[in-house]
Homo-oligomer: A and B are copies of this chain.
């Protein structure tokens, strides 16, 4: 019974996905023996960075084209704790959107495959002079079209 963070339209193409793995570090664990809640944005970012690379929209690539995509919203649901040396997988699912924003859902699973954490982030688009963009730039609209037409599957 997973929460729906984003509500797709019936004709939207499937989310783009990528997965990262990570071993819980000693330094990430708090005095109660579990990963401190504030470390999870780092876990999410590992999968987001892999996803952006996989689909050729990495931070530096976008920056080279004049586009910056700061995070405007972040949400985390903590379901099961993670502990030292736990091997986790982090899945990022980028949901389709035609707007000048990037909507990503995250699912962290522990070594037993149980869902330990879920969440989402919303990124806006800005040019390098900190102006918010109302519509995505042309090269990104091409990316959206390709996605809609199954060219990224």
Could you tell me which A residues sit within 8 Å of B by CB distance? 25-27, 29-34, 36-38, 40-42, 45-46, 49, 59-60, 68, 70-78, 81, 84-85
Contacts and interface: CB of A to CB of B under 8 A. Distances in A.
A56 to B, nearest CB: 14
A25 B37 contact: no
A42 B38 contact: yes
A128 to B, nearest CB: 10
A84 B31 contact: yes
Given A27-B36, A31-B33, 6 more contacts: A25-B46, A29-B30, A37-B41, A37-B70, A38-B41, A75-B76
Contacts of A42: 25, 27, 38
Given A25-B45, A26-B59, A27-B45, A32 B74 contact: no
Contacts of A77: 72-73
Contacts of A29: 30-31
Given A31-B31, A31-B84, A74-B76, A26 B49 contact: yes
A123 to B, nearest CB: 10
A45 B41 contact: no
12 contacts: A25-B45, A26-B36, A27-B45, A29-B31, A30-B30, A31-B31, A38-B42, A40-B74, A41-B41, A70-B78, A74-B78, A75-B76
